[in-house]
Amino acid sequence: MPLSPRKTPVWLPIVVLLIAMTSIQSGASLAKSLFPLVGAPGVTALRLTLGTLILVVIFKPWRLRFKAEQRFPLLMYGLALGGMNYLFYLSIQTVPLGIAVALEFTGPLAVALFSSRRAVDFVWVILAVLGLWFLLPLGQSISSVDLTGAAFALGAGACWAIYILFGQKAGADHGPATVAFGSLIAAVIFVPIGAWQAGEALWHWSLLPLGLGVAILSTALPYSLEMIALTRLPTRTFGTLMSMEPGLAALSGMLFLGEHLTLVQWLALLSIIAASIGSTLTIKREPQITSVDVN
């Protein structure tokens, strides 16, 4: 019999969320290791196909009914979900995992900052801009980040912002089950694109266990764990912990992919993390969280 929230130790949902974030970044590392075999588009197709099948079994989206005014937001939500996965995988082809996640985090950070007009929020804007300035190769020799890959990561961040904005409207009645429908829309659009770009290399049974590993680590396991944490943690605590994800991504890249960042890149990454934490802790009203990290 599951423990009630009252009997659950205070530290347990925090540990659960840390495991979820570690799972997501481990899945991203595994996905990147498959790029030499099928490319980023092929891995996107594998992840969306298998991940969507898992979500469909769990949430049974055919039972959901959406109002007319929710259908366009649902379509945009699904397109943003697919675009975010596709662009993120394209970005980590040439950009270290930690930097790509930090750049992608500018999407939800922008949503949070644009919703407020208080003076303190300009501090977080400055921190985020400083982080971007030192991460991107804007005519400087201190950074070795690929500009195209960085653009893909920022594009994934823009998709994440759209995902949040339209997900709030699309998921108003069905909550996390909306993710299954959105993933289905994303799969219909981006799986054929990824399969076409990957070509015959994608159609090998030997890839199935690895693709399933990516789907479980990046989708099924973290989604389930994050939903547990969401029901037991205050919104600010959840958002603050999620802000640590670029750091976890950088560590995952070091451990599994041999990616090492320069001191300047670490400082820039920490600047973006600080901006995300600060915007979460000082927000005036706690927004309803209707989205989780889907990388």
Q: What is the pLDDT of residue 230?
A: 65
What is the pLDDT of the chain when averaged over all its residues? Answer: 82
Low pLDDT (below 50) residues in the chain: 1-5, 139-142, 286-291
> What's the whole-model pTM score?
0.83
pLDDT one-digit tens code per residue, 151-207: 999 999 999 889 888 877 776 666 667 888 888 999 999 999 999 999 888 888 888
Segments making up each domain of the chain, as ranges: 11-281
Q: What is the pLDDT of residue 49?
A: 94
For a pLDDT cut of 70, what percent of the chain falls above it? 85
Residue type at 117 in one-letter notation:
R
